[in-house]
Structure formats: C-alpha cells, structure tokens
Chains A and B, each alone.
Chain A
Amino acid sequence: MDLGFYTPLGAEALLTALAVLVILLGSLMKKSGNLMGYLSLAGLVVSLGLVMSTAMSAKLGQVFFFNTISVDALSQFFKAVFLVVSMLVVIASLSRYKDAKGADEFYALLLLATVGMMVVSSSIDLVTLFVGFELASLSTYALAAFDKSKRNLEAAMKYFIFGSVSSAFMLFGFSLLYGMTGTTKIAGIASAALSNFAPATLVALIFVIAGFAFKMALVPFHMWAPDTYEGAPALVSGLLAAGSKKMGFAAAFRVIFVALLALRLEWYLAFAILAALTMTLGNVLAIWQNNVRRIFAYSSVAQAGYMAMTFVVVGAALGQPNGAAIAQNSIAGGLLLILGHALMKMGAFIAAAVVGYMVLKDGLKEGSDPDDISNYAGLGRRAPITAFCLLIFMFALAGIPPTAGYIGKFVLFGSAINAGLVWLAVLAILNSALSLYYYLRIISYMYLKEPAGPKISEPKGYAVALILTMIGVIGIGVYPQPFYNWAMQAAAVLLPH
C-alpha cells in the first residue's frame, strides 16, 4: 500500500490519533496543566496547514476508499472553517479548562467532533456522510453536558433527543433513496431515474432535508437551538453555532445540489419556504430575548435563513439559460457567509464566556441568569477588549462593511437579485435591518450604560481568541478577493460541468 497516496487525508488521521493520545495521556497523568490544550492546538494548527497545502496543490479532486471520500476545493473550504473554529475554541479553553478535571476528555471530544465534521465535508457517499455526522453529533452531545451543571444537562438532553429524532428521519430518507436507486453513492443517485418513484421521492427528500435542517437549525427544526445554546458551556455553544451548524450545510450542499438535482423544483420550493420562515422568525424572536446567549441563538437561526437562500437561488438559477454563473456566485456567497458567520458567532460566544466568567467573579446571586443582558452594562469599561471585539462582531453580524458579514451577504443577496428572486432579497435586507435592533441593543448596554462593577482583567486565552477572530472578521471584509476566489472555486465542485 502506498501511504503517500493518502497524504491528502493526513489532517483527519492526525487529529484522530491525537484524540486517542490525549485520552491516554490524560488517564496516565494526574495533573496536566494546559498540556492537553497545547497538544490539541498544535495538532489543529498542523492540520490546518495540511488542509491548506492540499487546497493550494493541484491534487484536488482525488477520491479515496472506493469512491466514498473526495478531497476537493469544497471539502477543503469547509475543513478550513471547522479547523479554525476548533482552534478558537481550544485557545479560549486554555483559560477556561486549565487544570480542570477531565480537560483531556474535553479536548479529545472536541478533536473527534472536528474529525466528524471534516469527514462529512469530504463524503461523497451517504453512508460515510452519516457516520461522520454521527461522530460529530455524539461528541457534541457529550460536550454540551460537559460542566455537568443542571442547565448543561438539560441543554444536552434536549439536544440529544432532538438530534436522535432528526438522525432517524435522515436515515429513513437515505434508506428510501437507496431503495429507489440501489446505490448510496451521491454520483450514482444523481444519475438514477428518480422520477419513476414519485411520490416516494418527495418523502425521501423532505426527510433528508429535515435531518440536515436540524443541524442547520432552520425553522421549525430549530427549537433545540436556543435552549441548548443557552444551557451548554458557552464555548461549546460557539462550537455548535459556528462549527456543527456548518456541517449541516456541507452535507446538504452535496446531497441536495448533486444527488437530488433531479428534484430541483421540489427542493427549490421547500427551501424558499424554510429560508423565508427561518430568517423572519429568527429575527423577530431575537428581539424579545433578554438572555444574550438566546439572542445569539436566534440570530444564528436567522443567519441560517440567509445561508439557506443559497438553495433557493441555485434552484431558481439552474432553470435559467445562463444560470450556472449565477448559481456559482450564489454558492460562493453562501460559503463566504458560512466562513464569516463561523468567525463572528464563535467570537460572540467567546465574549459571552468572558462575561460568564466575570459574573461568576462578581458572585452570582441565587436564581439570577448569568447571561442576562443587564450583566453587559458598561462592559466597554469593565472588559474593554471583549467589548470592542463584540462590538465588531455585532456590526459584522448585522452586515455592516467592511466586515466578513457584509461581503457574504453582498454576494449572496446580489446573486438572488440576478436570479430574479427580488422578493427574497428584499425580505433578507429588511430582515438585516430588523436584526440591527437587537445587535445595537447589546452595544448600547456595553457602551452607554453605567458599569455594574469594577474593571476585570480579561483571561489571556479568551482575549487572544477574541482578537484573532476580530482580525479575521475585519481582514476578510477589507480584502475579500482571495476568499471570494476560493469560494468560487469551491462552488464549481457542486455544479454540473
């Protein structure tokens, strides 16, 4: 066997081995300090290097393991997103889980979740896709309960039940597809004559969409998200919103665009309903929340609605004479928004973690909510780095230039207009305006209210993660061209040639 052939999968192999190593070391060492964290960080950095070097090389498009795993521009784009998110979680965790009991398990689970997401982004077979999906899901179920508080357990339990039901739907959908086409290969399903099996195809399609929509948190499959994001450890919520949500998109992109292209009209309609509902309800509900993490959760739901526009635009564009270019642009816009949202939302949750830490230091009153917006009063003076970074993330989420959030929205909404979906673009823009209400509300608490306590020293891990994220968010906004080119290249993978 030629090991060199498998080098494009080196990142996954490295992270898996590292996860096992971390667990082993953790059981052998009594007190490990931050060793596990630094090990994981090193592993993630090296993996990111490997992923990027493959993304730059000409070897893209290779397939492995009997046509089940493909290393192409799309998979590398998503892998880079997942790795960056995990890196940020690890950097922030260096402050949070220093000397904590079970830190080794935390890092191992995090690494395995990352591997799962990476496998999903590379899968071109429904079975590998499902396995990757479950690997990531099971790891994050455990992570969501990691601090073992009552709130953690409730959050994890809801996430788990909801996840299981969705997995069941997804698996049911997959098995229907297998029954109809006799194959689990995405390319095989695409070439089979699905239309003979109507109306079972529609049921299969909706079941598959429901399975993915759970991860993407589209309305009405979103209900676990606010409860879980609120209750889980803040960094894990960040991982769920920034990483595992994107895994849903990675899977849905391949399955919907490639395997189920024949059902274009059906999924076009389904996603038109889902996207419009999701962005509107997400924003409207966010207005009512007083818990900042719930605001972030609903904002995340709304952002998923924008991202889901990609499906609608592609569905509409492919029916038009010169639709391929519009479709490519729209997928690129979706990918840019995914990249940008991963950074902005991760940063926002890290900031929430800093506030949680600050409130704990102040001495939490019995029965009060550590994430309540009143705790953000005067954050600009109490924790200036955190407040400033959060300010940038809020502006970025609202889509104000020059930030990553703006570029993604600009490209995506522009493609919607080009595809003739003016109503959708207008709805999305109105929603963006609506979202300013709750983003500005947080900013006004941070900068216009009197601080409730003294200045705190911000833990280094959190601060470093926040500043890195902020640089990324602004960097992409100021110099978007390379990211756009990369996203266009990734988008080309999904379109028929």
Chain B
Amino acid sequence: MYADYAYLIVAMPVLAFVLCIFFGWHLPKGGGFFTVLATFGGLILSLGIFKEIYPDKIVHQSIPWFANFNVGILIDPLAIVMLLMVTFVVTLIHTYALGYMDGDPGAARYFAEAALFTAAMLGLIYSDNLLQLFIFWELVGLCSFLLIGFWYRKPSAAAAAKKAFLTTRVGDVLFLAALVLLYNNMASLNLALKPGEYLLQFPVIYAHIAQIPPTQLTFIALCLLGGAVGKSGQFPLHVWLPDAMEGPTTVSAMIHAATMVTAGVYLVARMFPLFYAAPNALTVVALIGAFTGLFAATMGLTAFDIKRVLAFSTVSQLGFMMAGLGVGAAVGVAAVGVSIFHLIGHSFFKALLFLCSGSVIHAVGTNDMREMGGVGKYMKWTAYTMLIGSLSLAGFPLFTGFFSKDEIIKIAYEYGVQINYLPYIMLICAATLTAIYTFRLWFVAFTGEPRSDYHKHESPWIMIGPLVLLAVFALGFGFFAQSGFYQYLDTNFEHYGVDFHALGVIGGHISEAGAAGGEGAGEPFIVKILPYIIAIGGILVAMLFYYWHKLDPGLVTSERDPIRRLLLKGYYQHEIFTAWFAETVVYGVAILFNLIDIKIVDGVLNKISEVTVGFGGNLRKVQTGVVQNYITAVVLGIVVLVIVIEIGMKVGL
C-alpha cells in the first residue's frame, strides 16, 4: 500500500521547493517547515515501504517515457536502506537549519534549494534505470553548486561553487560516456525485450552483463568510476570538497558529508555486478579508495579550519567505502553490504559532527580552531554529542564507526591474503590517523582555556534536538544493526538472479564469492586486535599532545620540517593543480585557442553576421506597408514558382 505512493517521496520535496521559492519570502523562517514536513513525509513513506518489503520483496514500477526510455522506481534492499538514511538524516538537518538559518535574508532560497536537493537525491536513489539516475545525478550537482555558492556575494563562496561545479563536471562527462558506451553495447546485443523492459533498466543490465565483451565492460566500469570519483571526492578529483565548506554548515552536513558525496559510492554499489565482471576494474576501485583514504587523512592532521578537518575526514572515509567495494574482488558481493553499512553509519556520525561544528561556529563566530578552546564548558550538549560523533569516527570499540570500519579493514586483509596487501596497509595507517586528527579537533576546540572572546551560550533547542537524535544513532546503530544489515543487503542482487560466480569468471576473480561470511577464521591474532589498538592508541596520542600537553607538537616537527610543510600545503596540490596545471598549462592552451577563436572563427562569424544583418536590413525595405506592393509580390511569387518548377521538371530534378 505504501509502495503505491512511492513517487510521493520525490514529489513532496518538489512541491516544497515550489512553495518555498514562490511563497517562502512571505512566511516565517522562509517556509522551511514545508521542506521539513516534505522530507519527514518521505521518511514515513520509506518506513512503510520497508515494513512491506522486508525481508524478501522489492518494489518495481515503471512507465514509458519516450522512445527507448522509461521512468521508474526500483526499491530493493540497497535502495531502501539509502532512502531511510537520507530521509532520516536530512529531516534532522532541515530541522536544525530552521534554527541555523533563522534570520538569514535568503532563508526562503535556502529551503527551496534544499528541498530540490532532497528530491533529486531521493530520486537518484530509487531510479530504476541509469539514464534517470544520471538526470538526478546532474540535478544534485546543480543543487550542490547553488548551495555552496549560497552566500554568492562572498567571492570565496562563489569561487568554491565554481570549482566544485567544474571539477565534478569532469566526472559527469565520464559518467555520460559510460552511459553512451553501455547503451551502445546493450543495443548491439539485439535483445528481445519484453513489454515494460528497457535497455538501461538495472534488472535488464544485470541480466545481460555476461554478454558484453570484457574489454568493453572495463571501459564502461572505469568511466562510471570516473563519475563516482568526481561526485565522491576521490583522488584526483577531491580538490573541490574542502573548498565546498564555504556553504552554510547545514549544507556541508547534508550534501558534503551525509548524502550527495555518497552518491558515487552508491553508483559503484548499484553497478557492482558490472564492476565485478569487468577485469581489473575493482582493483582500480580498491587502490583509488585506499589511497584517497590515507592521503586525505594526512591532510586532516594539519588543517586549522574545523570544517576543513571534517571535510578531509569525509574524503578519507569515502575512500574507505570505495576501498570496501574494491576489495569485493576477493570477497564478492558481501563487499556491498560492508561498504554501504559504513556509508550509513558514516552519514549519522559525520552529519552529527558537522552540525556540532556548526553549533560551535554559530557561537564562536569563526571556523579557526586556534581561536576556540574551552567551548565545552559553555556548550555541554554540543560538546558531548560531538564527543560521541568523534569516538564513532575514530572507531572506538562499540561505537558505530568501529563496527563498520573494522569490517572494511577485515575484508581488506582478506583481499591482502588473496591478492595484494597494499590497500590493507594504507587503510590501517589511515585509520590510525583518523583517530588522531579527530581528537586533535575535539581537544583543541572543546577543552583548555578560551583563546578568544566569544559568545558563551548554548544553541537553541531546535538545533540541539537533532544533535541528540543523531548521537543516539552514532552510538548504537552499529552494534544493533550490523548482522541483520549484512544479511539483508547480501540478498540484494539475488532478486535479479545475478550469478556472481559466472561474472567472476569473466572478471578473472579466482576465489568463490561470499567467503567473507566466515568470522575471519584465518586471521592472525594481531590482525584481530589491531583495530582496537589503533583506535585507542590514536586517541591516546591526541590526548598526549592536545589535552595533557605532555608532548608539544613542536618537539616532533618544526616550522622548517619538510613533511609538515608538505602537509600544511596539502601536498602542494594547489600549486600543482591550480597554479601550475590550470593556470599555466590549461590557461596557456586556452590563450592560444582564444587567439584562433578571435582572429579566425569570430572573424568569419562576424563577416557572416554582418552580411546576414545587412541583407535583412535591405530586405525589410520590401515590406513597405502598401497593400498594392504586397499583392504584386504574391503574383510575382506565383509566376516565378510556376516557371521554376516547369523548368525543374523539364531538366528532370
């Protein structure tokens, strides 16, 4: 029954968007309650649908759109957990935003764009075909652009929005290429489709992967991965994500932590059978993911902007999720469950951390951690909910992050045993660094003495409430949901009869799928307890430096230390990507093209338009306004037509 109204999950936020943009200006809080209610309605519907389809049903609705395409809704285990997570987290963030955006003159615009974003994100999740997914994918990209540049009068915000848009665009083009390639390959199979089946529908794709040539599969998979890398901020397209923190903090929490950036991971998970069948594709996924995880964690260590630390941490955690999918080469489809579980858990605690930091920024009035200090004394709720989020992110035992991250590290080890230890090593290092930078953040901001003069007050309840709810989930979700979650997600591709064994043969995966089920029987003891050690050890290290002040960071590094400078400069990425590559190489080429454009192309075009316009100018004198002339033209026209056609027929046209 709820499933019949599944379309409302997208329709309601769209309605909220229309209401906010047209009427929000006249309503208190910019009409934000429309957006909250619409998203909350989506949560209720999603819960209803979950109750109906759990544990072994899926929802699939589809109507023809035009030509060979359809519009449809596909809610399987993978989609429903994402729907539940997004509607839940986003409802809380919208509620929080009611307090956070209060008094901003653009509040109506904010809530309108946020509602549109929500609609697009939810549409992306339950699309039943790749084209529709791509359309929503572009739409979330647009909303992200609009919301990063929300304070568009601020030059840095406008620049960040542009950077995000252009960088993700690189990925989007690759995604589009994958779409075209996949469509052509599917079309060339000359499938006899039943009524209601379309080439780009996921069930149809899953059923015919094995018939596509393996090299083509690898091409498609790598192009898709390109899209995912752009959207999920993976190396080397991660550069936009830290800058995207110029938007309001609620936007950072919603788009750049909990939902949109996970779309790339979701895409790879959704297309997992294709990646599995494509030779070498998952290896690339694993290496990019693990490298990004480590790379971003090192940068998180040195940032001073509280939101940038969290942004680097997001990039790093997204790397974990990608790596989790990539090591599916060894453990098979179980990787999807593990990776998505981390995705969901991460959404809870990262949204929590962002909202807490927003709360702090709201009070202190700066993003710089060096000017905070001792905030915990005045903002008890914020401090303790943030502590829960931090423990979860650091992977402290029994917190959500522990269960989800530990599992990824475990399957990465298994991947190491079978194939290659590199991802495992990088992930272990990244996890250690995660614990350190997280608690560096918490100790510096919340403990010690105030280092600047700020408003010492707690945020209003409308902002605290969502924090508490999120904290509950960051604390308990992992412990209570883990095993059921894996079981449920493992059935996802069974609904479509995907034969992973056959696909693995194409992809060249030696092992049997599903080996991860055994509780790590063959792992050495040290591998088992390593996650405990790194989590607690990392926190202790952070305490030594930033809480007890037993050790001074100056002892370990100094201003001239090359590694420190390297990290502070973010591996000179700005110098390499922006200053050198973009501003020298690309700009130089652009100048050259520009010259050609101005001198030759524009020259010709100007000449053509001069001639055209001049022609029009002369022609218009024919239109004299005297009826006699008009009739003459008609008669002349008829005579000319008769003669021309007569001659044409004679000549034999």
Contacts and interface: CB of A to CB of B under 8 A. Distances in A.
B617 interface: yes
A45 interface: no
Nearest to B634: A221
B641 A285 contact: no
A440 interface: no
A224 to B, nearest CB: 7
B502 interface: no
Contacts of B625: 227
Contact of A220 (B636, B642, B653): B636
B461 interface: no
A251 B649 CA distance: 25
Contact of B642 (A158, A206, A224): A206
Contacts of B530: none
A56 interface: no
Interface stretch (A16-24, A233-241, A479-487): A479-487
Contact of B612 (A162, A270, A434, A480): A434
A199 B617 CA distance: 38
A206 B645 contact: yes
Nearest to A207: B638
B525 interface: no
9 contacts: A158-B627, A165-B634, A169-B634, A223-B634, A227-B623, A270-B641, A285-B619, A481-B64, A481-B65
Contact of B631 (A161, A199, A266): A161
Contacts of A131: none
Given A206-B645, A223-B633, A161 B627 contact: yes
Nearest to A385: B22
A270 B625 CA distance: 27
A112 interface: no
A65 interface: no
Interface in A417-453: 434
Interface in B400-459: none
Given A284-B616, A484-B66, A210 B638 contact: yes
A231 to B, nearest CB: 10
B645 A270 contact: yes
Given A166-B634, A480-B66, A266 B645 contact: yes
A91 B342 CA distance: 57
Interface in B596-612: 612
Q: Which of B612, B633, B638 has the most CB of A within 10 A?
A: B638
A71 interface: no
Contacts of A227: 623, 625
Contacts, number: 84
Interface string A345-385: 00000000000000000000000000000000000000000
B613 A202 contact: no
Q: Which of B617, B638, B641 has the most CB of A within 10 A?
A: B641
A34 B646 CA distance: 56
A158 B630 CA distance: 9
**What range describes how many residues of B lie at the interface?**
20 to 34
Interface string B569-612: 00000000000000000000000000000000000000000001
A42 interface: no
A456 interface: no
Nearest to A479: B65
Contact of B66 (A269, A281, A481): A481
A270 B615 CA distance: 24
B630 A284 contact: no
Contact of A288 (B620, B637, B648): B620
A265 B616 CA distance: 31
A370 B455 CA distance: 59
Nearest to B628: A161
Nearest to B648: A269
Given A266-B645, A288-B617, A481-B64, A206 B638 contact: yes
B642 A285 contact: no
Contacts of A209: 641
Contacts of A214: 634
Contacts of B627: 157-158, 161-162
Contacts of B613: 284, 287-288
A203 interface: yes
B644 interface: yes
A273 interface: yes
A26 interface: no
B641 to A, nearest CB: 5
Contacts of A37: none
Nearest to A437: B609
A226 interface: yes
